[in-house]
Amino acid sequence: MARSVLVTGGNRGIGLAIAEAFQAAGDKVAVTHRGSGAPDGLFGVQCDVTDPDQVSAAFDEVEAVHGRVEVLVSNAGITEDGLLLRMGEEQFGRVVDANLAGSYRVAKRAASSMLRNRSGRMIFISSVVGLSGGAGQANYAASKAGLVGLARSVARELGSRSITANVVAPGFVRTDMTEELSEQRRAEILGQVPMGRLADPAEVAGTVQFLASDAAAYVTGAVIPVDGGLGMGH
Ligand code: NDP
Protein backbone atom coordinates (compact mmCIF):
# COMPACT_ATOMS: atom_id res chain seq x y z
CA MET A 1 0.00 0.00 0.00
CA ALA A 2 1.19 3.53 -0.78
CA ARG A 3 2.76 5.07 2.29
CA SER A 4 2.99 8.72 3.28
CA VAL A 5 6.70 9.54 3.00
CA LEU A 6 8.32 12.86 3.95
CA VAL A 7 11.88 13.67 2.88
CA THR A 8 13.42 16.85 4.30
CA GLY A 9 15.67 18.60 1.80
CA GLY A 10 14.12 16.40 -0.88
CA ASN A 11 14.18 19.13 -3.50
CA ARG A 12 17.73 18.32 -4.66
CA GLY A 13 20.77 16.10 -4.19
CA ILE A 14 20.54 12.93 -2.14
CA GLY A 15 17.10 13.86 -0.78
CA LEU A 16 15.71 14.20 -4.29
CA ALA A 17 17.09 10.80 -5.30
CA ILE A 18 15.46 9.30 -2.19
CA ALA A 19 12.13 11.02 -2.92
CA GLU A 20 12.17 9.85 -6.54
CA ALA A 21 12.90 6.28 -5.50
CA PHE A 22 9.92 6.17 -3.13
CA GLN A 23 7.69 7.86 -5.69
CA ALA A 24 8.74 5.35 -8.37
CA ALA A 25 7.79 2.55 -5.94
CA GLY A 26 4.27 4.00 -5.68
CA ASP A 27 4.44 5.82 -2.36
CA LYS A 28 2.89 9.25 -1.63
CA VAL A 29 5.96 11.43 -1.33
CA ALA A 30 6.36 14.95 0.03
CA VAL A 31 9.59 16.92 0.02
CA THR A 32 10.57 20.05 1.88
CA HIS A 33 12.27 23.01 0.25
CA ARG A 34 13.25 26.45 1.52
CA GLY A 35 11.57 28.51 -1.16
CA SER A 36 12.91 27.02 -4.38
CA GLY A 37 9.77 24.92 -4.89
CA ALA A 38 9.69 21.18 -5.49
CA PRO A 39 10.86 19.58 -8.72
CA ASP A 40 8.08 18.70 -11.19
CA GLY A 41 5.93 15.79 -10.12
CA LEU A 42 6.79 15.96 -6.42
CA PHE A 43 4.57 17.41 -3.70
CA GLY A 44 6.55 20.15 -1.98
CA VAL A 45 6.11 22.03 1.27
CA GLN A 46 8.17 24.97 2.40
CA CYS A 47 10.10 24.26 5.57
CA ASP A 48 13.27 25.43 7.22
CA VAL A 49 14.07 22.77 9.80
CA THR A 50 15.68 25.33 12.09
CA ASP A 51 12.21 26.77 12.74
CA PRO A 52 9.91 24.57 14.88
CA ASP A 53 6.79 26.42 13.66
CA GLN A 54 7.68 25.76 10.02
CA VAL A 55 8.29 22.08 10.83
CA SER A 56 4.91 21.79 12.48
CA ALA A 57 3.12 23.63 9.63
CA ALA A 58 4.86 21.50 6.99
CA PHE A 59 3.77 18.25 8.66
CA ASP A 60 0.20 19.55 8.96
CA GLU A 61 0.19 20.40 5.25
CA VAL A 62 1.61 17.04 4.19
CA GLU A 63 -0.72 15.08 6.45
CA ALA A 64 -3.80 16.94 5.18
CA VAL A 65 -2.98 15.69 1.69
CA HIS A 66 -1.19 12.34 2.15
CA GLY A 67 -2.27 11.23 5.61
CA ARG A 68 -0.07 10.73 8.67
CA VAL A 69 3.64 10.49 7.86
CA GLU A 70 4.64 6.82 7.95
CA VAL A 71 8.20 7.14 6.69
CA LEU A 72 10.38 10.11 7.69
CA VAL A 73 13.71 10.66 5.97
CA SER A 74 15.62 13.38 7.83
CA ASN A 75 18.06 14.40 5.13
CA ALA A 76 18.30 18.21 5.18
CA GLY A 77 21.81 19.29 6.03
CA ILE A 78 24.51 21.87 5.54
CA THR A 79 28.27 22.21 5.85
CA GLU A 80 30.12 25.29 6.97
CA ASP A 81 33.69 24.07 7.26
CA GLY A 82 36.57 25.70 9.07
CA LEU A 83 39.44 24.77 11.34
CA LEU A 84 38.59 24.60 15.05
CA LEU A 85 40.66 27.60 16.11
CA ARG A 86 38.90 29.75 13.54
CA MET A 87 35.43 28.30 14.03
CA GLY A 88 33.12 30.83 15.65
CA GLU A 89 30.28 30.01 18.03
CA GLU A 90 27.71 30.91 15.41
CA GLN A 91 29.36 28.83 12.68
CA PHE A 92 29.34 25.82 15.01
CA GLY A 93 25.80 26.48 16.16
CA ARG A 94 24.29 26.98 12.70
CA VAL A 95 25.43 23.55 11.50
CA VAL A 96 24.35 21.75 14.66
CA ASP A 97 21.01 23.57 14.59
CA ALA A 98 20.25 22.57 10.99
CA ASN A 99 21.66 19.04 10.98
CA LEU A 100 21.05 17.75 14.50
CA ALA A 101 18.39 19.92 16.14
CA GLY A 102 16.54 20.00 12.80
CA SER A 103 16.42 16.20 12.89
CA TYR A 104 15.18 16.28 16.48
CA ARG A 105 12.38 18.67 15.43
CA VAL A 106 11.15 16.54 12.55
CA ALA A 107 11.54 13.29 14.49
CA LYS A 108 9.51 14.67 17.38
CA ARG A 109 6.67 15.76 15.11
CA ALA A 110 6.78 12.50 13.14
CA ALA A 111 6.72 10.48 16.37
CA SER A 112 3.32 11.82 17.35
CA SER A 113 1.84 10.61 14.05
CA MET A 114 3.69 7.29 14.14
CA LEU A 115 2.56 6.61 17.70
CA ARG A 116 -1.03 7.05 16.62
CA ASN A 117 -0.38 4.66 13.72
CA ARG A 118 1.50 2.29 16.04
CA SER A 119 4.14 1.92 13.32
CA GLY A 120 6.65 4.02 11.48
CA ARG A 121 10.12 4.31 10.03
CA MET A 122 12.59 7.08 10.71
CA ILE A 123 15.79 7.25 8.70
CA PHE A 124 18.46 9.83 9.48
CA ILE A 125 21.07 10.77 6.89
CA SER A 126 24.37 11.09 8.74
CA SER A 127 27.83 10.86 7.17
CA VAL A 128 30.97 8.76 7.30
CA VAL A 129 32.52 11.90 8.83
CA GLY A 130 30.22 11.54 11.85
CA LEU A 131 32.07 8.35 12.75
CA SER A 132 35.60 9.15 11.57
CA GLY A 133 35.72 12.91 12.20
CA GLY A 134 36.95 15.28 9.55
CA ALA A 135 39.65 17.96 9.70
CA GLY A 136 37.91 21.30 9.30
CA GLN A 137 34.52 19.78 10.03
CA ALA A 138 34.18 19.79 13.83
CA ASN A 139 30.69 21.28 13.58
CA TYR A 140 29.49 18.98 10.80
CA ALA A 141 31.05 15.81 12.25
CA ALA A 142 29.62 16.56 15.71
CA SER A 143 26.16 17.11 14.23
CA LYS A 144 26.34 13.88 12.24
CA ALA A 145 27.65 11.86 15.19
CA GLY A 146 24.79 13.29 17.24
CA LEU A 147 22.32 11.72 14.86
CA VAL A 148 23.48 8.28 16.01
CA GLY A 149 22.60 9.07 19.62
CA LEU A 150 19.33 10.64 18.53
CA ALA A 151 18.28 7.68 16.38
CA ARG A 152 19.28 5.11 18.96
CA SER A 153 17.35 6.92 21.68
CA VAL A 154 14.28 7.06 19.44
CA ALA A 155 14.79 3.36 18.67
CA ARG A 156 14.74 2.57 22.39
CA GLU A 157 11.80 4.84 23.22
CA LEU A 158 9.53 3.78 20.36
CA GLY A 159 10.61 0.25 19.44
CA SER A 160 7.75 -1.35 21.34
CA ARG A 161 5.31 0.58 19.08
CA SER A 162 6.83 -0.89 15.90
CA ILE A 163 8.63 2.35 15.12
CA THR A 164 12.20 1.92 13.91
CA ALA A 165 14.94 4.54 13.76
CA ASN A 166 18.08 3.98 11.73
CA VAL A 167 21.01 5.96 10.40
CA VAL A 168 22.52 5.89 6.93
CA ALA A 169 26.12 7.13 6.76
CA PRO A 170 27.05 7.99 3.18
CA GLY A 171 30.61 8.54 2.07
CA PHE A 172 31.21 11.03 -0.72
CA VAL A 173 28.23 11.40 -3.02
CA ARG A 174 27.99 13.38 -6.27
CA THR A 175 25.84 16.41 -5.29
CA ASP A 176 26.11 20.21 -4.98
CA MET A 177 27.74 19.63 -1.56
CA THR A 178 30.70 17.74 -3.05
CA GLU A 179 30.89 20.01 -6.13
CA GLU A 180 32.44 22.53 -3.75
CA LEU A 181 35.49 20.28 -3.09
CA SER A 182 38.79 21.28 -4.68
CA GLU A 183 40.30 18.93 -7.29
CA GLN A 184 43.11 18.16 -4.83
CA ARG A 185 40.71 17.24 -2.01
CA ARG A 186 38.63 15.14 -4.41
CA ALA A 187 41.74 13.21 -5.51
CA GLU A 188 42.75 12.67 -1.87
CA ILE A 189 39.30 11.32 -1.03
CA LEU A 190 39.16 9.00 -4.02
CA GLY A 191 42.55 7.63 -3.00
CA GLN A 192 40.95 6.43 0.25
CA VAL A 193 37.79 4.93 -1.24
CA PRO A 194 38.23 1.25 -2.07
CA MET A 195 35.55 1.54 -4.76
CA GLY A 196 37.60 4.34 -6.35
CA ARG A 197 34.64 6.59 -7.16
CA LEU A 198 32.03 8.84 -5.59
CA ALA A 199 28.55 7.43 -5.00
CA ASP A 200 25.57 8.24 -7.15
CA PRO A 201 22.72 9.69 -5.00
CA ALA A 202 20.51 6.77 -6.10
CA GLU A 203 22.90 4.39 -4.34
CA VAL A 204 22.07 6.07 -1.02
CA ALA A 205 18.36 5.94 -1.87
CA GLY A 206 18.48 2.15 -2.25
CA THR A 207 19.61 1.67 1.36
CA VAL A 208 17.02 4.13 2.64
CA GLN A 209 14.31 2.23 0.80
CA PHE A 210 15.51 -1.03 2.32
CA LEU A 211 15.24 0.47 5.83
CA ALA A 212 11.68 1.56 5.06
CA SER A 213 10.72 -1.85 3.65
CA ASP A 214 9.07 -4.87 5.28
CA ALA A 215 12.39 -6.69 4.91
CA ALA A 216 13.89 -4.31 7.51
CA ALA A 217 11.07 -4.59 10.06
CA TYR A 218 13.46 -5.89 12.76
CA VAL A 219 16.34 -3.48 11.98
CA THR A 220 16.50 -0.56 14.41
CA GLY A 221 19.27 1.55 15.92
CA ALA A 222 21.55 0.52 13.07
CA VAL A 223 24.15 2.68 11.36
CA ILE A 224 24.53 1.56 7.76
CA PRO A 225 27.48 2.91 5.79
CA VAL A 226 27.02 3.59 2.08
CA ASP A 227 30.56 4.76 1.46
CA GLY A 228 32.36 2.53 -1.02
CA GLY A 229 34.41 1.16 1.90
CA LEU A 230 35.80 4.55 2.99
CA GLY A 231 34.89 4.13 6.65
CA MET A 232 35.60 0.43 7.10
CA GLY A 233 36.32 -0.33 10.73
CA HIS A 234 34.28 2.51 12.15
P1 NDP B 1 22.80 19.40 -0.94
O2 NDP B 1 23.65 20.54 -0.49
O3 NDP B 1 22.81 19.00 -2.38
O4 NDP B 1 21.28 19.62 -0.48
C5 NDP B 1 21.01 19.94 0.87
C6 NDP B 1 19.53 19.88 1.09
O7 NDP B 1 19.25 20.20 2.44
C8 NDP B 1 18.78 20.90 0.23
O9 NDP B 1 17.56 20.34 -0.14
C10 NDP B 1 18.59 22.05 1.19
O11 NDP B 1 17.48 22.88 0.89
C12 NDP B 1 18.34 21.28 2.48
N13 NDP B 1 18.54 22.11 3.65
C14 NDP B 1 19.68 22.65 4.11
N15 NDP B 1 19.46 23.34 5.24
C16 NDP B 1 18.13 23.25 5.49
C17 NDP B 1 17.28 23.76 6.50
N18 NDP B 1 17.73 24.54 7.49
N19 NDP B 1 15.97 23.46 6.44
C20 NDP B 1 15.49 22.70 5.46
N21 NDP B 1 16.23 22.19 4.46
C22 NDP B 1 17.55 22.48 4.48
O23 NDP B 1 23.24 18.21 -0.02
P24 NDP B 1 23.35 16.64 -0.30
O25 NDP B 1 22.22 16.15 -1.11
O26 NDP B 1 24.73 16.36 -0.73
O27 NDP B 1 23.22 16.12 1.21
C28 NDP B 1 22.01 15.63 1.76
C29 NDP B 1 22.33 15.05 3.12
O30 NDP B 1 23.30 14.03 2.98
C31 NDP B 1 22.92 16.07 4.09
O32 NDP B 1 22.41 15.84 5.39
C33 NDP B 1 24.39 15.79 4.03
O34 NDP B 1 25.04 16.19 5.20
C35 NDP B 1 24.39 14.30 3.83
N36 NDP B 1 25.61 13.77 3.24
C37 NDP B 1 26.05 14.19 2.00
C38 NDP B 1 27.21 13.64 1.47
C39 NDP B 1 27.73 14.04 0.13
O40 NDP B 1 28.82 13.58 -0.24
N41 NDP B 1 27.04 14.83 -0.67
C42 NDP B 1 27.98 12.65 2.19
C43 NDP B 1 27.43 12.28 3.47
C44 NDP B 1 26.29 12.82 3.95
P45 NDP B 1 17.64 24.14 -0.08
O46 NDP B 1 17.54 23.63 -1.48
O47 NDP B 1 16.49 25.00 0.32
O48 NDP B 1 18.98 24.76 0.21
Mean pLDDT by groups of 10 residues along the chain of 234 residues:
96 97 98 96 97 98 98 98 97 98 99 98 98 96 98 98 98 88 87 95 98 98 97 84
Here the ipTM equals 0.99
Per-residue confidence (pLDDT) for residue 121, from 0 to 100: 98
Does the Cβ of 33 fall within 6 Å of ligand 1? Answer: yes
Q: Identify the structural domains of the chain with CATH numbers, from first to last.
A: 4-226 (3.40.50.720)
Write the DSSP string, 3-19: -EEEETTTTSHHHHHHH
Return the residue whose CA atom lies nearest to atom 33 of ligand 1: 77
Q: What angle do CA 172, 59, 51 make, to 5 degrees?
A: 70
Question: Mind telling me the catalytic residues?
Answer: 140
Atom of ligand 1 nearest to the CA of 10: 9
Does the Cβ of 11 fall within 6 Å of ligand 1? Answer: yes
Tally of CA atoms within 13 A in the half-sphere of 162 that contains its CB? 12
Per-residue confidence (pLDDT) for residue 179, from 0 to 100: 85
- Given its phi and psi angles, is residue 33 left (phi above 0), alpha (psi -120 to 50 degrees) or beta? beta
Does the Cβ of 225 fall within 6 Å of ligand 1? Answer: no
Does the Cβ of 122 fall within 6 Å of ligand 1? Answer: no
DSSP state of 82: B
